[in-house]
Amino acid sequence: MGNIAVNVEGVSKIFRLGVKEQGSDNIAGMVWDFVRSPMKNFRKYRSLYRFDETELKETLADNGRAGDILWALRDVSFSVTEGDVVGIIGGNGAGKSTLLKILSRITPPTKGEVIIRGRVSSLLEVGTGFHPELTGRENVYLNGTILGMRKKEVDQRFDEIVAFSEVEKFLDTPVKRYSSGMRVRLAFAVAAHLEPEILIVDEVLAVGDAAFQQKCMNKMQDVGKQGRTVLFVSHNMPAVTSLCDRVIWLDRGKKISEGPAQEIVGSYLLAGNKTTAHRIWNDPGSAPGGEFARLRAVRVVAENGEIKEHFDIQQPVGLQMEYEVLRGGEVMLPHFRVKNENGVLVFVTLDHDPKWYQKPRPVGRYVSTAWIPGNLLNEGPHFVDCNLITRHPDIPQFSESEAISFAIAGSMEPGTARGDWPGRLKGVVSPVLEWKTAYSSAN
């Protein structure tokens, strides 16, 4: 366990929002308002950053917002060890950028404390300080020193920076003549050659073409491998899972959870989709269905029959649908479709249980469960469509898209596809295959 590079303790940040003014509705009132306005404005602008304790206590009851006070961050605590690559995720307005600004010393916390060990470089926007009238060469120096490098350091790395950015020919032209892609490449080139102990990156990878984005990702990975601490905010979940060891999840100013990247991202994606491991339709009138069958419940179950949302990769996963057959005498085909977090269809599974396969069904209640073996699906959240059709002719009875969802958590146990491999394996499925090797000594 190395040194703690960043320690955040009980940090809160409060903002005062602009609130709509009450205007008066008669001329005398309007004139009086106008005369009094300098006093009112003075008080308003002065109060933009002043908060007294009673005002604050009122807002605590409400979920982060009362009157014109907003708790952008509320009592957030976590610590980051030297060398960690930590992702920070959350919906819009979660407080991610505010947290980064506090860590970058751009704005101070209202409460709480942050202790940082090491030099910090922040990329909150690419090209900070670029001046359009200066040439590329001059801007490299300006940008570099703004980001915290000494002139000597920029000198040493100048050639590398220029090579990375691929704008050698245009170095002595004013930057205002550059295309936006060139500007971004140059700015990122400077930022990529900083060597701070702690690097903070906020969604800068959202610009640039695909080739450039890949370059940025690789560079950030290198930074992590060099043993430096990286804090990375992004909405790009695959980027977060491939780059980060640990992830912190913020929502509306509070820390929801933190832990291994795959697990937290999995929970986050599940939560965002508002689907769970279980859905019931209690009222037959509103249950999805057609003339012959009606869906009453869908569940994800574990081996012991209990409803479960998170599964270890080695565990079998049961997909269960409970349905009523309303009119007997038809052959029915229940089936599930399973998709992964990227929307890719992993497989379709048809109910070939010999008990009912190709046989007409009597009226009644049925509970059908499909068992996905362990060590098949890859890590991450999965979403399940639940469907049933009658056969010959094929008439759909119900088709619920993304009715339920579950998450597979990876592990590095022996017996999994990953084994002791530190990262998540790419691919839609993650099976454990048998390998056979023939060996002969060199001759």
Partner 1 sequence: MEPSKTDNTPIVRIRPPAKWEIIDFQELKDYRDLFFFLVWRDIKVLYAQTIMGFAWAILNPLIQIVIFSIIFGKVAKLDTDGIPYVLFSTVAIIPWTYMSEAMSKASQSLVAGQSMLGKVYFPRVLFPVTPVLAKLVDFSISLLLLLAVMIYYQIAPTWNLLLLPFLIVLMMSVPAGIGFWLSALSIRFRDVKFAMPFLIRMLIYSAPILYAASSIPDGYRLLYSLNPIVAVIEGFRSCLLGTEIPWQFILPGTLVSAVLLISGAIYFRKMERVFVDVI
Distance of CA 391 to the CA centre of its chain: 42
How far lies 253's CA from each of 41, 72, 200, in Å? 29, 5, 19
Do the beta carbons of residue 116 and residue 3 sit within 8 Å?
no
- Say which DSSP state 289 is in: B
Binder of partner 1 out of 81, 110, 315, 411 (CB under 8 A): 110
Nearer of residues 42 and 371 to partner 1, judged by Cβ: 42
CB of 254 to partner 1, least distance (A): 19
Q: Amino acid letter at 442?
A: A
104 belongs to the binding site for partner 1 (CB under 8 A):
yes
Give one word for 179, left, alpha or beta, with left for phi > 0 and alpha for psi -120 to 50. beta
Could you tell me how far CA 314 lies from the centroid of its own chain? 25
Q: Is 125 in the site for partner 1 (CB under 8 A)?
A: yes
- 254, containing H or E segment: strand 254-260
Position 83 contacts partner 1 (CB under 8 A): no
User: Residues 6 or more apart from 240 whose CB is under 8 A from it?
Assistant: 87, 89, 232, 234, 247, 261, 265
Decide if residue 291 touches partner 1 (CB under 8 A).
no
Interface with partner 1 (CB under 8 A), residue from 70, 89, 116, 250: 116
| Site for partner 1 contains 345 (CB under 8 A) | no
119 in contact with partner 1 (CB under 8 A): yes
CB of 50 to partner 1, least distance (A): 9
**Can you tell me the distance from the alpha carbon of 409 to that of 430, in angstroms, rounded to the nearest whole number?**
12
Q: CA-to-CA distance for 430 and 69, rounded, in angstroms?
A: 48
Smallest separation (angstroms) from partner 1 to the CB of 145: 4
Interface pick for partner 1 out of 24, 37, 77, 107 (rule CB under 8 A): 107
The contact mask relative to partner 1 for 192-211 (x = CB under 8 A, - = no) is -----x--------------
40 is an interface residue for partner 1 by CB under 8 A: no
Among 146, 345, 348, 429, binds partner 1 (CB under 8 A): 146
Binding positions for partner 1, rule: CB under 8 A: 15, 42, 45-46, 48-49, 101-120, 122, 124-125, 128-129, 131, 133-134, 138, 141-142, 145-151, 197
